Structure 1
Amino acid sequence: MASAQSHCASSLSLIRRSEPSPHLAKIVLVKCPNNSWLGTKILTVKPQLSVCNRRPFAATVSFSLPTANPSRADSPGAEIPKWSSKAIKSFAMGELEARKLKYPTTGTEALLMGVLIEGTNVAAKFLRANGVTLFKVRDETVRLLGKADMFFFSPEHPRLTDEAQKALDWAVDTKLQSVDGGEITTVHIILGIWSEVDSPGHKILSTLGFNDEKAKELETSISKPGFKDD
């Protein structure tokens, strides 16, 4: 009997020393009342699951796009124009596409792909109607910029290239100069890309048949009263 009691004590000590992580199931030791075997009270193990303390998932939603000159609307009577929801989503899709291609930056080519990935906006519909599709733009991007190293991983938010930032700033400045009010749209993003003549986005659009005439045709769509980006 002394041997059995000693075995029980050593087992209890072993279980206590191997106490699990708080993120795993906890083991609770419970004595069974007067439950004996060979005259020795035995110890039973009762599993008890614990709820892991997980940090709540938080999604960050941006209601604007990066600008190199946030004080541009500080002049009297000027208001900072707002971006349309589809323009913001297009920007996010462009960042994601840059990451998928494992590029270290978000360039004008990524902004262009983002507009096409969103797909339901006015600019995307116009581009597709004129033969500029996502697959063609993606192929031209790889041809122009090359494939990234397979072992390279892009940052969560690849920084904007100078050309991409200028394209977005062009969109903001153009909207500030207009008197029609409303939001900055995907059309402004495409026209901003087109204004950067040495950028990859401009070169890809030009290769796929986009030109100044089509840019003017696209620009007329945002001058209509009550224009919406859909």
Structure 2
Amino acid sequence: MAAHTVSTAPTPTRASQPDSRRPKSLSPTQFLRPHVFQSTWLGTPKLSLQSSNPRLSMPKYHRPITAIVTFSLPTAKPERVASTEKVPKWSSKAIKSFAMGELEARKLKYPTTGTEALLMGVLIEGTNFAAKYLWANGITLFKVREETVKVLGKADLYFFSPEHPPLTEAAQRALDWALDEKLKSRENGEITTTHLLLGVWSEDEGPGHKIMSALGFNNENAKELNSLVSKPDFVED
């Protein structure tokens, strides 16, 4: 009888056999391909992998992004400053207060930016001298919001305020008052948030004045602020 030989070679198992269905692992170079960073806005930047610090290089046709920073607030009579040799600029904190006032008007769903919104913007900015003076006299943002609802009422819940609610006539006059006062002083320097606050107070029939008055602000406080802001060495801190 012929002897049978038994092969001792291991039978390939399924685990050791290559599986074409299993995805191959990607190397870092293969993974960081340009299409990963493709954007309909930026285009397809080229990815440089030659150095140890990969970086994106923008295509030649990409337009650089530019930001425009304004140093002025709206005025009803631009010709007043057109002939002025040195136009006074608004301080950065005053401009930020104005922007915060617009945003607050939107949050409260009001259709316009009034003197009450400018007042709230001063308090929201928070780091300016006028806001600190108001806090020292017990006038806070929470109280101003409460008084605003009392004076103007609640807005329609389903009303969508515009992105930049237009200024009311009283708010525009408040800005112009601040500009005029700076021009009258003939002093160098910026138009500060304190000028803006005094402009709000100058509108006797405006909601901002009524709210400030209801919270204890009076003409004596206005005179004190005016004397401080009139000093040559006064700066927005």
- Give me the TM-score of the superposition, normalised by structure 1: 0.75
Structure 1 position 72 matched with structure 2 position 80:
yes
Which letter maps to 1:91? F
Q: Determine the structure 2 residue equivalent to 1:155.
A: 162
TM-superposed CA distance for 1:202, in Å, is 0.3
CA distance in 2, matches of 1:138, 1:79: 37
CA distance in 2, matches of 1:86, 1:50: 38
CA distance in 2, matches of 1:58, 1:180: 33
Task: Pick the aligned partner of 1:85 from 92, 97, 110.
Answer: 92
Structure 1 position 188 matched with structure 2 position 195:
yes
CA distance in 2, matches of 1:71, 1:58: 29
Q: Determine the structure 1 residue equivalent to 2:70.
A: 62
Tell me, yes or no, if the aligned pair for 2:88 and 2:183 is still in contact at 8 Å.
yes
Q: CA RMSD, aligned part only?
A: 1.9
Q: Determine the structure 2 residue equivalent to 1:142.
A: 149
Deviations 1:76-122 (A, max 9, x none): x6422100010000000000000000101000000000000000101
Tell me, yes or no, if the aligned pair for 1:78 and 1:176 is still in contact at 8 Å.
no
- Helix, strand or coil: the match of 2:121? helix
Structure 1 position 218 matched with structure 2 position 225:
yes
Q: Determine the structure 1 residue equivalent to 2:207.
A: 200
CA distance in 2, matches of 1:50, 1:214: 58
Greater Cα radius of gyration, structure 1 or 2: 2
Q: Determine the structure 2 residue equivalent to 1:5.
A: none
Task: Pick the aligned partner of 1:127 from 118, 131, 134.
Answer: 134
CA distance in 1, matches of 2:37, 2:193: 49
Between structures 1 and 2, the one with greater strand share: 1
| Residues 196, 53 of structure 1: alpha-carbon distance in 2 compared, 3 angstrom cutoff | same
TM-superposed CA distance for 1:73, in Å, is 2.2
Which letter maps to 2:205? D
Q: Determine the structure 2 residue equivalent to 1:32.
A: none
- Helix, strand or coil: the match of 1:160? coil
Q: How many residues align?
A: 183
Which letter maps to 1:195? S
- Give me the TM-score of the superposition, normalised by structure 2: 0.72
TM-superposed CA distance for 1:223, in Å, is 1.9
Q: Determine the structure 2 residue equivalent to 1:42.
A: none
CA distance in 1, matches of 2:173, 2:74: 10
Deviations 1:41-75 (A, max 9, x none): xxxxxxx7672313798765432100001110244
CA distance in 2, matches of 1:79, 1:58: 26
Deviations 1:122-173 (A, max 9, x none): 1000011011110000110011111111111111100000000000000001
| Residues 53, 170 of structure 1: alpha-carbon distance in 2 compared, 3 angstrom cutoff | same
Structure 1 position 97 matched with structure 2 position 132:
no
Q: Determine the structure 1 residue equivalent to 2:234.
A: 227
Task: Pick the aligned partner of 2:39 from 32, 52, 67.
Answer: 52
CA distance in 1, matches of 2:158, 2:152: 17
| Residues 153, 80 of structure 1: alpha-carbon distance in 2 compared, 3 angstrom cutoff | same
Q: Determine the structure 2 residue equivalent to 1:22.
A: none
Gaps of at least 5 residues in structure 1 are 1-34, 36-47
